[in-house]
Structure 1
């Protein structure tokens, strides 16, 4: 296992700056996700780690070894691409063996290592088949085995599940995590899929326009986003603009057009002044509907629209004071036919209210 350290990394393409002086440390054996919208710089960062791009400034270290300008094949990374890039004329075993043959590994050792790699991804019985005789999920496993067989220092995955259907993606999320932990591999995984990142990552970095906005565990990033951009990208949320009316013991009191809120700062290092304009962020599943009012974190209104989805009902809750409807999710809904005329109150706990400065 190795750590990966990114220090002041800058990458340009002509006049466009793709990465702006990034600093990031990925711990040994960690399954680390780079997450963000298209064009945010996540693939550029991954390809810089792999050696396909050489940065203009900064450094990349594998453990204590600097690899910033080292050729890709000398970094000994296992790379898995979105397209899988399997040779159609070769068998499964030949595809997996290709990297070892290029490294002049003895034939007897190649046979042993290919067998071990295929067994590790549960594809041993398909060794003689051609890629076109495999399902998408099986091809994905072969590509993973090919990346593992060289015994890489780290594993780099570029949106590996994007070509699979929803059911296979769910299956392969767990499989990828199992393999990475079984091999004790430091793994960097690029995706724009929030559910992939939340379900299997150890930590993640959220990128936008070549900048890292936040690094943390899935729970930290989801429960305590530090910016509106992060809260908006990771899951659904209700944004309510307001003004800071008081600060007490780490709690922030915010006056909004639909009520008074008490919450916690998304970024505790940036304390707002009284009178500052802020945004209250509350996840739809954090609201509770009822018939009783509260002094804070409570909005009067009624349901404007209800959508039943089985395990959850989604409501558009229209505040009595006007303004945009709030998104509210009710798990295991007993009855979705709540009267759209009856006045209700939507309330949230203090720990579920996040106050964002920008």
Structure 2
């Protein structure tokens, strides 16, 4: 039995002060990821700061510089956000990504911020008998040369080859969401594309957040492009499975010409992968399946695969063509 202290503050500032002042303190939200890791011995904090009582469970529509903004509180449950009428109609990629994640029971418990901050991991990370640089820096990476079906094919390093598990994060990456963060020095806004990081030589650090910083909200700006968005997840079984490959896309056409496009991939990297090379190749060109496949091929030119993970290259290319093809039919 491991002893740990427990704190349940009512104020955001008190929560931030408690965690930032203790290097062995962690936030507890829905607990769907952290509690598992406590049980497995993957993590052993000395203080848990429960943020579920904080007033961060509302979805609000506010005015923004570039259009209407949906501000989603950090404690909004995944199931509630997926069912929200504005999310379903204006940000369908977000609703579909949320409904692709985990199971109904977990979606009822998991929070918006917690979903984004779940640990990037593979089977070896959760097995404390194996070497893992994320869990024990410098110990090695068992996934290199081991079970590789879920390994990253983009942005990996010699220290880590695992992939980010969040479906929501991929949709938010495609829609240029912003994360609102409260820290000891006040509030700041972080583009979701800058929230997660590639492993490099520090795979134990999943995000760019400093210790003690707390996500308080996620902001999404509405527009024509967000309404023409969707999400598709390819996996080994129909539910409760991580993505082998997932794609969030948004598309805007003028006739047959691509005027704007967004493309983000899951299951391929240590963080949601925004396919900017493919996007640039498609903008201003005539839309076709062949054009999408060729654009994705350019993005995937840097992919590094093993015999087990090589299937991901054609899979992400074909799923991207499927997603954008469906959106093209809606836009015509």
TM range (shorter): under 0.3
Give the number of the structure whose residues are more often strand, by fraction: 1
Scaled by the length of structure 1, what TM-score is found?
Answer: 0.21
Larger Rg: 1
Scaled by the length of structure 2, what TM-score is found?
Answer: 0.23
Q: Which structure is richer in relative contact order (CA contacts within 8 A, separation 6 or more)?
A: 2
